Chains A and B, each alone.
Chain A
């Protein structure tokens, strides 16, 4: 589904991302971990054509993202709060995104009804603008908005940060469900190794912009990652 070839991004002389080759098949739940500055957000920004690659390209379902915009209809993302429109109510925001993705109100309502549990009664019908919601609730809105219109690729940057434990657990089951039963390719980045190993079938570790580990998740993965990030070697 997503094919990365010889991709790099440099600012001046410093290279912040350098990926020779990375293939993410359709329906995979893909986790990206790394310390601050490892290049996670840079990679996602390149995927969404928000910054220009210095060399190479990303192909999303065969479409080079910085040459054509045909990947947009089947790709959705939530990177941070700047993806929200503060002066809309959550409902208006969902409908707006819905219209951009060719969904009418009924479609959007049907989707939202599945997430009543996730929203915990704090989002819908509150007569509040998004700018007045707490950070955690804003995040919930952003994540659910990324699910509107049955996208085939969903990109979530740090989805677990700022959420309460109950919501984190619910979110994990949502993401798992998307990849396993609906065949959606989900890309998630996180600092929380436990969450990522719970959710993703494959985990890639970035360090200083380069892929240094590419693991298929199993029981030993969490230990291996913890060992890696604590600086020790795996015995």
Chain B
């Protein structure tokens, strides 16, 4: 068993999955996004040196860059936490074969070093280094500096997996990272401990004394082996087979009864959300989403941009809708064949999801009312966005679900299970937020704020009025792709 075999296995797994064949468009979109970022970074890398020279003629651009590296590191850690996942590999079939565990782990870790996230920075740092060399910086110093950046990128790469492996075991998966990054930032910001100064000094000394590059390399090696240790422990089946049977707590959820014939499905959906790790973590996203407005509204810049309010409104009131809705019906993929052979009406099944999403929008809107502190316009925009979410986005996302071909295995609790997470998850939310933003923005520029709100509300109301018709169309779409969905959901990977 060599690395060649591993690569061969993964290649087949990827291209033979039903998912790949159905989502070429999504893959193309990802490629375009990647190209876009590459170009952005390239331009930044080339322009950085002359720009810094221009604005701050008295300062050394390299020192300037070094003094901001701390923020770069923080940002990189946070971005990676949300977007980069440890490469998935189905290890179970390999465990009984004569393959050394060591080799599997080394392979997974090394593969992670090939992530796009590790290459992207160099589209900026390499041109910047070349500019440094052109401007008569010491050859050895610049090359060592660049090497240090490489090492730093890999350090962040492996640090991220350690953070992830720890947070994956906790309920509040996002919170530790936010606290960690937030407190580092705060300590630095209020000059209690000046991390940015330290980072600057460190990089500066490496530039002047290339020998010091050994220190970050040692850190990298240590992190690599720490990762190796964590993963090797998880490679034993008993960690996933261990009967850490949770004690089931059942409640009858009588209140759902008032929704009539969709009650059993609503109970099922609520239990789905509360009893699975994957879905529970998306509950915590609600809090984050609700606070999202606080990033913008306190800043005076955004007060002058009312067209932006609708976007935040869609996000704040629709975060559950986007998070939960995009995996309809994949949440039920594990037992989809049961549902399809039972005496159920597709419409009731879908209606329950619709009611759940609508309720979430209403609750989130009510919870977001305190934003009125930043101006009544915000409240109005949020209200319009909530109506739009209920009338339009719920239907759009459920219609989109009919094209869903990716299984989510809720039961699997193995260490390598990151299904359905990663960058793609966030891409799907874009049209749901950008379309209303475009409509709202256009109406705002051409007419005024109130009319823009009215248009969103009107679209939402039309959606609500047409709800029965839309549901029929959506139901038909699901029925049409029934066999394809069953087939895709019975596939592994």
Give the CA-CA distance A185 to B250 in the complex, in Å: 35
10 A-B pairs whose Cβ atoms sit less than 8 Å apart in the complex: A48-B340, A48-B341, A72-B342, A82-B334, A85-B335, A86-B410, A87-B411, A99-B264, A129-B245, A132-B246
B305 within 8 A of A: no
CA distance A72 to B345 in the complex (A): 10
Please report the number of residue pairs spanning A and B whose Cβ atoms sit closer than 8 angstroms: 82
Q: Given A72-B341, A131-B411, are A82 and B275 also a contact pair (CB < 8 Å)?
A: no
Contact with A along B447-487 (1 / 0, CB 8 A): 00000000000000000000000000000000000010011
Residues of chain B at interface, number, CB under 8 A: 31
Distance in angstroms between the alpha carbons of A89 and B483 in the assembled complex:
29
- A contacts with B: majority SS: loop
Point out the residues of chain A lying under 8 angstroms from B334, CB to CB: 82, 85-86
Beta-carbon contact of B342 and A97 below 8 Å: yes
Is A229 an interface residue, CB under 8 A from the partner?
no
Q: By the criterion CB–CB under 8 Å, are B243 and A132 in contact?
A: yes
Is A51 interfacial (CB 8 A cutoff)? yes
- The answer to whether B250 and A91 have CB atoms under 8 Å apart is yes
Least CB distance, A79 to chain B, in whole angstroms: 7
Is the Cβ of B343 less than 8 Å from the Cβ of A73?
Answer: yes
Q: Mark A72-100, 1 if CB is under 8 A from B, else 0.
A: 11010101001111111101100011011
Distance, CA A101 to CA B483, complexed state (A): 23
CB-CB under 8 A from A48, the residues of chain B are 337, 340-341
Candidates B243, B250, B486; contact of A89 at CB < 8 Å: B250
Contact call B486/A50, Cβ cutoff below 8 A: yes
Which 8 pairs across A and B sit closest by C-beta, in order of nearness? A132-B245, A72-B343, A87-B275, A99-B264, A83-B338, A86-B411, A48-B341, A89-B248
Collect the chain A residues with CB atoms within 8 Å of residue B249's CB: 127
Scan B221-250; emit 1 where CB is below 8 A from any A CB, else 0: 000000000000000000000010111111
Interface residues of A in 30-84 (CB under 8 A from B): 48-52, 72-73, 75, 77, 79, 82-84
Which residue of chain A has its CB nearest to the CB of B489?
A82
Contact partners of A97 in chain B: CB under 8 A: 342
Query: SS class of chain B's interface: helix, strand, loop or mixed?
Result: helix
B344 at the binding interface (Cβ < 8 Å): yes
Q: Is A128 an interface residue (CB 8 A)?
A: yes
Could you say which interface size class chain A belongs to? 20 to 34
- Which residues on B are within 8 Å of A, measured CB to CB? 243, 245-250, 263-264, 267-268, 271-272, 275-276, 334-338, 340-344, 410-411, 483, 486-487, 490
Tell me the bound Cα distance from A138 to B271 in angstroms. Answer: 19
Closest to A99 in B: B264
Minimal Cβ-Cβ distance residue in B for A78: B338
Contact pick for B275, options A83, A100, A102, A129, CB 8 Å = A129
Smallest Cβ-Cβ distance to A133: which chain B residue = B245
Given contacts A50-B486, A99-B264, is CB(A92)–CB(B340) below 8 Å?
A: no
Cβ contact within 8 Å between A92 and B487:
no
Nearest-neighbor residue (CB-CB) of A52 within chain B: B483
Most buried by A among B248, B267, B344: B248
Given A51-B487, A132-B243, decide whether A87 and B271 contact each other with a Cβ distance below 8 A: yes
Interchain CB contact under 8 A, B248 and A128 = yes
Complex partner residue of B490 from A49, A82, A99, A129, CB under 8 angstroms:
A82
Q: Is the CB–CB distance between A129 and B341 below 8 Å?
A: no
The contact of B247 among A50, A75, A127, by CB within 8 Å, is: A127
Complex contacts, A91 vs chain B, CB 8 Å? 250
Taken together as a complex, chains A and B put the C-alpha atoms of A51 and B243 apart, in Å, by 35
CB distance from B336 to the nearest CB of A (A): 8
Is the CB–CB distance between B247 and A83 below 8 Å? no
Compute how far the CA of A152 lies from the CA of B276 in the bound complex, rounded to whole angstroms: 35
B339 to chain A, nearest CB (A): 9
Contacts A51-B483, A51-B487, A100-B342 hold; do A84 and B335 have CB atoms under 8 A apart?
yes
Distance in Å from the Cβ of A145 to the closest Cβ of chain B?
Answer: 9
A87 to B249, CA, bound (A): 11
Interface residues in A148-181 (C-beta closer than 8 Å to B):
none
Residue of A nearest to B273 (CB): A87
How far is A100 from B335 in the complex, measured between Cα atoms in Å?
15
B398 vs chain A, min Cβ distance (A) = 20
Chain A residues with CB below 8 A from B272, complex form: 87
